[in-house]
Chains A and B, each alone.
Chain A
Amino acid sequence: MREPRLLPWARWIVLGLLALFTLVPLYVMASSSIKPLRDVQSGFAWIPTTFSLRPFSDIWRTVPLGRYFVNSLVVASVASVASVTVAIFAAYAVSRYRFPGRKVFTVTVLSTQMFPGILFLLPLFMIFVNVGNATGLELYGSRLGLIITYLTFSLPFSIWMLVGYFDSIPVALDEAAKVDGSGPLGALFRVVIPAAIPGIVAVAIYAFMTAWGEVLFASVMTDESTRTLAVGLRGYATENNVYWNQVMAASLVVSVPVVAGFLLLQRYLVQGLTAGAVK
């Protein structure tokens, strides 16, 4: 490709500015997390003058961060495993079978993606409270309620992406497995799933990230014992003081697992998108 002479310059200027825009908040998060409270309260400084690892030990005492962490971990893991499982079955049906209602199903599921969360927050809140009153099944304020909610959040995108991915796997492979004596589900488990691992991993990351970062439902549907990180992080702000160094340290700690996982597996996400959704 012949490139205009100025392109390399334009490339570095544009990409450089975008890198700066991306990087500055990350730098602020990291550098402020190792400052003593006095320093974050006395005006911003690019280079920390005093280093202190105290914030990283204080964060666990100021608020019960450990408990929030466990809650988020349980909710996000269970929700993403369940979401992927449900999505695999649904995507296999949509990809491999022509049945009446197939189109309606895919369109309906995808269109739930556009619903404003606020629209079903109020009714869901009411339903959970009233189901709890009627049957004693604790959905409101429990992890179970949050898990079910979160797993449906990632479901539409997961199904959509996996359908695209399954479509790219030749049906001839299924047929071969069936000749070897596997039923349709056998073909799914022996052929389609192994071939679709990148797509499945990508969907699992997406589902985990969705659940780990959700704020709206977490702030309404949890109580003190089931509170997740999304809500818990607000605890560092008191009436007259915000422990900004601890906020930054806590943000760093809660980000590391997802960001590390995402970066390790980003290859799969790009592959999955390339093979599935974007096609």
Chain B
Amino acid sequence: MVARTTPHHDERRGAAPPEGGPRPPGAGLTSRVAARLPLRLRRLGLPYLLILPAILLELLIHVIPMLVGAGMSFLRLTQFFIRNWSAAPFVGLSNYQVAVDIDSAVGAALLHSFIVTVCFTALAVGLSWLFGTAAAVLMQGSFRGRGLLRTLFLVPYALPVYAGVITWSFMFQRDTGLVNHVLVDQLHLLGERPFWLIGGNSFAAVVVVCVWRSWPFAFLILMAGLQNIDKDLYEASAIDGAGWWRQLRSITMPMLRPVNQVLVLVLFLWTFNDFNTPYVLFGKAAPQQADLISVHIYQSSFITWNFGSGSAMSVLLLLFLLLVTAVYLVTTSRRKSNA
């Protein structure tokens, strides 16, 4: 099909930012450059012009900082060099050596934080997925109050992180919180009021809060996934005599597998990198038992102002996540093609 010349006023209107928002970089460029270039070149270059703003922004905020961060991890970048970091001495791999040396205090703390984070992620992702699946499956079909319940379930996801988490931190207060009021005063399950935000209980606390926040997302995605399953499949299998369990095992779960593949990965990455929940829940000083890795790196960077070592830890974290993601995608995709 022959492309026609576009009336210029159309493109200008098209490129104008809506409702007085900031001019997206490159959008104005699209119309001006496009008007001058020959037709063939315009057709060829158009997709690149369209993705240019996205590329520039990704470069500026993600790619370049990541490369800079990788570079910083080879420097002794302490507070003396923050304003003039080109003067920071090159120290090779020594930041990495310290971070992985489990005999050093820094390395031991990092390993501890890593193990805590692995346990935290496994529990929180597992429970979020379980709750989300249970709710989505049980809410198939129509019954009274379904719409209301769906709306309620989505509220924790819509709530700003800090508002929800700060409420939990109030509930976990030792003397004035709801949790101890229920457990100690009302149910008499415990004789003494435990602390929830310091000591061993803090791990349970942060898991509960994280699940509360993230299971609605699993629910939302799985609910959308269920809507895409062809209703005829259920009817056909019902005619063949399949019961509810049989349909769940043979239709619902297999049909959700592609959705689950992405969902579990996204939940894993978000939970592993979660900074907001522990930071708001515990404030500046996270207890040792709930020392999640993002907060750990943040604190060891900004308290000691040693950005070189912080960057080295971040790079190690990224490498770990890349490895897990690659292994996960390869194994789950292979199983899918075998099935």
Contacts and interface: CB of A to CB of B under 8 A. Distances in A.
A82 B22 contact: yes
B289 interface: no
B135 interface: yes
Interface string B46-80: 11101101110110111111101100100000000
Nearest to A184: B46
Interface string A80-106: 011001110110111011010110010
Given A18-B131, A183-B5, A116 B314 contact: yes
A236 to B, nearest CB: 9
Interface size class of A (residues with CB under 8 A): 35 or more
B243 interface: yes
Interface string A17-43: 011011111101100100000001111
Interface string B140-153: 01010000010111
A148 to B, nearest CB: 6
A203 interface: no
A209 B51 contact: no
Interface in A208-251: 209, 212-216, 219-220, 229-230, 233-234, 237, 244, 247-248, 251
A129 B156 CA distance: 35
A65 interface: no
B18 A130 contact: no
Nearest to B324: A114
Given A85-B27, A148-B57, A183-B3, A26 B170 contact: no
A19 B273 CA distance: 27
Contact of A1 (B24, B160, B247): B247
Given A25-B168, A274-B227, A184 B3 contact: yes
User: What secondary structure prevails in chain A residues at the interface with B?
Assistant: helix
Nearest to A269: B220
Contacts of B225: 278
B106 to A, nearest CB: 16
B138 A120 contact: no
A4 B269 CA distance: 37
A175 B259 contact: no
A277 B258 CA distance: 11
Contact of A229 (B7, B143, B162, B178): B162
Contact of B176 (A42, A124, A252): A42
B315 interface: yes
A278 B219 CA distance: 13
A18 B137 CA distance: 13
Given A15-B135, A185-B14, A188-B14, A152 B61 contact: yes
A19 B149 contact: yes
Interface in B227-249: 227-228, 234, 238, 243-245, 247
Contacts of A19: 149, 152-153
Nearest to A205: B158
Q: Which residue, B5, B14, B139, has most C-beta atoms of chain A within 10 A? A: B14
Interface in A183-217: 183-186, 188-189, 209, 212-216
Contacts of A124: 61, 65
Given A118-B298, A186-B14, A126 B167 contact: no
B192 interface: no
A120 B61 CA distance: 8
B220 A259 contact: no
Given A99-B47, A114-B269, A216-B276, A122 B311 contact: yes
Given A85-B24, A229-B162, 13 more contacts: A3-B244, A22-B156, A25-B171, A43-B181, A90-B53, A114-B325, A115-B62, A115-B318, A116-B273, A119-B311, A184-B6, A213-B162, A233-B163
Interface of B: 1, 3-7, 10-11, 13-15, 17-19, 21-22, 24, 27, 30, 43-44, 46-48, 50-51, 53-55, 57-58, 60-66, 68-69, 72, 82-83, 85, 131, 134-135, 138-139, 141, 143, 149, 151-164, 166-168, 170-171, 173, 175-178, 180-181, 185, 212, 215-216, 220-221, 223-225, 227-228, 234, 238, 243-245, 247, 259, 266, 269, 272-273, 275-276, 279-280, 283, 293-294, 297-298, 301-302, 307, 310-311, 314-315, 317-318, 321-322, 325
20 contacts: A1-B141, A2-B243, A15-B135, A25-B164, A42-B176, A81-B17, A81-B21, A118-B317, A119-B317, A148-B60, A155-B54, A181-B4, A213-B162, A215-B162, A230-B160, A244-B173, A251-B162, A259-B155, A263-B151, A278-B221
